[in-house]
Amino acid sequence: MSRGLLVIIPHGLSEILAKGEVVERYYNPGGLFDRVDIVMTVDDHPDPRLVQTMVGDADLHLHAVPIPDGLFRRSLGFSPALVRGWTEQIVTLAQKVSPSLVRCHGAHLNALAARHVRKRLGIPYAVSLHINPDEDVRNRAVSRGDRLRLRAMVPLERAGLLGADLVLPVYEPIVPYLERLGVRRYEVAYNVVGGRHLRVKADYSLHDPVRVISVGRLFSAKNPEHLIRALEELDGVELTVVGDGPLRPTLERIASERVSFRPSIPNAELCAMLAEQDVFATHTEHWEISKAILEPLLTGLPVVLNCRTGAPVPELEGGICRFVESSVAGYREGLRDLLGDHHAREALGRRGRQEASARWAPEQTEERFAEIYRHLLGAAPQVPSAA
């Protein structure tokens, strides 16, 4: 029997393609579906040929259903009862393509639209969450306007999540947010990362010069300035910074010629080159385990991270990363210790790989999502009440 999946994402695909973050079958784990319709809630029209890899052999269809400018204000903060004019477009599309399952990324208007599809057509939906909005969005809001806007979004998030057949947080620190909202139907399902392109690090001898790599978006919560400045105090070390963002011009100005910036690298190329680095080091204040960290761990590359302000990430405990003080001195001493101790460096890399392979191996995480989808397709739970 033919199966279709409707994926609703709160962004465009062009930005993902531009960053090179293309993961095979990301939107069709296990090749479970014969047809995949991807709805972008922005005005974006990427080349379907560049997206095809992300759905495997499925018949791909792309749709742009932009959220109108000013809808937040006109709907009094995306009030679930006042945005039906927009969500109805998604319901109509779902009625036309008849998917077997709806998958949303993030608890935005897309999740509310999926809830309306569920109510009207009886099609189950799952929502994956890739961030803890309380910790990494609301707690970091600076302006009064942003704080008010984010507070107004809570009823929308609650409606989309409580109506879901299953919510899929991609790491444990998201769970407290779900429990605060009263969400009970959830399972932690870790992100699928680049699979066959990952190479296992076999040789822990240092290159000359030593190769350190940092990957992540360049903004305030992931500012690698301390790492860059620490490099100036270490001889014979080069740093590659992969990522783009508002801080890049400033970071480029303070960096020496031993620091190279690459705004984007195709995911396949990045996964392949990780094994040729000596150390992965980055800075993040987010309460997360991102794909940027999962990939070097799976490679066996020694990972250096800052001790974030707040609770630690449970998955990164247990000695699989070297944690340093979030300062120039912290990165300098942490890197100096690792680079000067071959056995400690190799042990850290191998320990990280062993744990990562057991929990986050790409084939394992992909099959986990496929298993969840199969369960949702067969469970046919009762339709939740309308928002």
pTM of the model: 0.90
- Residues 334 and 307: beta-carbon distance below 8 Å: no
φ, ψ at 41 (rounded to 5°) = -90, 25
Q: What is the DSSP letter of 279?
A: E
What type of residue sits at position 263?
A: P
Write down all domains in the chain, each with its CATH number in brackets.
Answer: 4-189 (3.40.50.2000), 210-359 (3.40.50.2000)
Q: What pLDDT is attached to residue 147?
A: 75
233: three-class secondary structure by DSSP: coil
What type of residue sits at position 206?
A: L
φ, ψ at 256 (rounded to 5°) = -85, 180
Residues 6+ away with beta carbon under 8 Å from 330? 226, 230, 306, 307, 324
Q: What pLDDT is attached to residue 141?
A: 65
Q: Dihedral of CA 245/249/250/255: which sign?
A: positive
Tell me: the pLDDT tens digits for 67-110? Answer: 999 888 888 878 888 889 999 999 999 999 999 999 999 999 99
Q: What pLDDT is attached to residue 150?
A: 75
Residue among 68, 60, 59, 61 nearest 89 (CA): 68
φ, ψ at 97 (rounded to 5°) = -95, -15
- Residues 195 and 371: beta-carbon distance below 8 Å: no
Sheet holding 35-40, edge to edge: 59-64, 35-40, 4-9, 101-105, 125-129, 166-169
Q: Between β-strands 279-282 and 303-306, what pairing exists: parallel, antiparallel or unpaired?
A: parallel
The b/e string for 66-83 (b: 16+ C-beta within 10 A; e otherwise) is ebeeeebeebebbebeeb
| Length, in residues, of the chain | 387
**Per-residue DSSP letters for 337-356?**
HHHT-HHHHHHHHHHHHHHH
For 233, how many CA atoms within 13 A lie in the half-sphere containing its CB? 14
CA-CA distance, 191 to 171, in Å (whole number)? 8
Tell me whether the omega of the peptide bond preceding residue 209 falls within 30 degrees of 0, making it cis: yes
For 239, how many CA atoms within 13 A lie in the half-sphere containing its CB? 29
- Residues 339 and 206: beta-carbon distance below 8 Å: yes
- Residues 377 and 101: beta-carbon distance below 8 Å: yes
CA-CA distance, 305 to 324, in Å (whole number)? 6
Residues of the chain falling short of pLDDT 50: 380-387
Q: How big, in percent rounded to 5, are the helix, strand and coil portions of the chain?
A: 45, 15, 40
20: three-class secondary structure by DSSP: coil
Q: Helix count (H) and strand count (E) of the chain?
A: 16, 12
Q: What pLDDT is attached to residue 382?
A: 41
CA-CA distance, 173 to 219, in Å (whole number)? 21
